[in-house]
Amino acid sequence: MSSNRIDIDPDVLAGAAAELDTIADALEAGLTRWSPALDVPPSGRDEVSVAVAHTVTEVAGRFGTDAAGGVVRLRALATAMRDQARGVSAADDAAASGLRATPV
């Protein structure tokens, strides 16, 4: 049987948002902790060692930038989910008030 209903539990939505915040916090902490280790010094003065170190450091820098962008997106998604949870709660409260106010 198909249904056109959408059931949303604001508490579950808010809980999922909190989990996204936790993931974002862990990712940000990892980036902060490990970013210095991604700056690779050349193992020697030769052209190949310098080029490899430069490339690895450059790629690591792009990874750090992209991962930091991921943290921002996770937090934005969590905020949107919390806003939606509040909106659903407000709509439910308004509907319930309307039902209570309807004369029998």
Contacts of 78 (CB under 8 A, 6+ apart): 17, 18, 20, 21, 24
pTM (2 decimals)? 0.78
Could you give the number of structural domains in the chain? 1
Is residue 1 very low, low, confident or very high in pLDDT (cuts 50, 70, 90)?
low
Provide the 3-class DSSP secondary structure of residue 25.
helix
We report the CATH number of the domain holding residue 84 as: 1.10.287.850
Q: Report if residue 30 sits inside a domain.
A: yes
In a domain, 32, yes or no: yes
Does the residue 3 lie in any domain? no
Q: Which tens digits make up the pLDDT trace of 8-41?
A: 899 999 999 999 999 999 999 999 999 998 899 9
